[in-house]
Amino acid sequence: MSDETKQDRSQIETTTASSGSVGKALITGASSGIGAIYADRLARRGLDLILVARNRERLDALANRLADETGRSIEVLVADLNNNADLARVEQALRTDDEISMLVNNAGFGATAPLVNSDIDKMTEMIDLNVTAVVRLTYAVVPEFLKRGGGTIVNMASIVGIAPELLNGVYGATKAFVLAFSLSLHKELAAKHIRIQAVLPGATATEFWSIAGTSVEHLPSQIVMTADDLVDAAIAGLDQGELVTIPSLPEIADWDAYEKARQKMIPKLSLSSPAARYGITSRTHEKHQSTAL
């Protein structure tokens, strides 16, 4: 990032933080790692916060520190998003707190083992957290954003959403869902002033790796980004209006080319006849000929 860009971002942060509250952000998975850093950055930008995670001790410590350092209102909501009752409480907060202007769907976990070496119950838990919770929380807040005339949803996806060969296939599939969900939300909601951003981190130095079954120390250092850099890049991407932010991708032109190719295919993905390479006489064509006779 250039010094000029850094200066511009600094000016944005200073202006926002000094102008009073600009709303409230609800952040899931906020007790440590990426979620805790989002909490720090957003509080310093002037947002009040609702921090959601399972670990009360960590949440309380973070909330107290941020309240002291930023003067923002920091609420704690202890919840396990794989528990239906807890998830419902977070949904209720999103429906009833009319100050919420931003949802950061950060909570999730991954896996590195091949499918055949994975615990199916753990895989189901991962789907519930990475997919179901994201959908339910989004559905809870979008109607409220529509009433208020706008809002922002940040969905934490992963590079394995477009490169599922790299890690456990179920994990990659959950993150492909998050990416597809985000693209669809953007198409549906952009004209209604609801911002959507999908963030696709690569390997990031957090507790994710030890929970997933591979120590981050075993990864080549050149592919591992710090969590601070990841969040700062993601927020810069949001400032720049990116729908999809891949913090380590050197050239945005590469993503643009990927997306252009995808868009080019869309009109051809559903046609009345099979492609000529399959050598199949189209029954639709035969039907049209019969009708004409």
> In the predicted model, is pLDDT for residue 3 greater than 80?
no
Catalytic residue among 38, 139, 171, 258: 171
Residue 217 pLDDT: 62
Amino acid (1-letter code) at residue 153 = I
* 287 confidence band (pLDDT: 50, 70, 90): low
Residue 211 pLDDT: 55
| Most confident among 140-144, 165-169, 280-284 (mean pLDDT) | 140-144
CA torsion angle 108 26 236 228 (round to 10)? -60
> In the predicted model, is pLDDT for residue 140 greater than 90?
yes
By C-alpha distance, which of 10, 40, 14 is closest to 25? 40
Six-digit token string for 43: 């509080």
As a whole number, mean pLDDT of residues 46-64 equals 97
Among positive and negative, which fits the CA dihedral 235, 240, 243, 247? negative
Residue 218 pLDDT: 64
Residue 169 pLDDT: 86
* 5 confidence band (pLDDT: 50, 70, 90): very low
- Active-site residue flag, 278: no
Exposure on the CB side of residue 270, measured as CA atoms within 13 A: 1
pTM of this prediction exceeds 0.95:
no
Residue 56 pLDDT: 97
pLDDT digits (tens, 9 = 90+) for 172-205: 999 999 999 999 999 999 999 999 999 999 888 7
* 220 confidence band (pLDDT: 50, 70, 90): low
* 216 confidence band (pLDDT: 50, 70, 90): low
The larger pLDDT score, comparing residue 221 to residue 42, is at 42
Percent of the chain with pLDDT over 70: 84
What is the C-alpha R_g of the chain?
A: 22
In this predicted structure, which of 8-12, 62-66, 70-74, 194-198 has the lowest mean pLDDT? 8-12
pLDDT digits (tens, 9 = 90+) for 7-40: 444 433 433 333 334 799 999 999 999 999 999 9
Residue 165 pLDDT: 83
By C-alpha distance, which of 130, 78, 79, 77 is closest to 100? 77
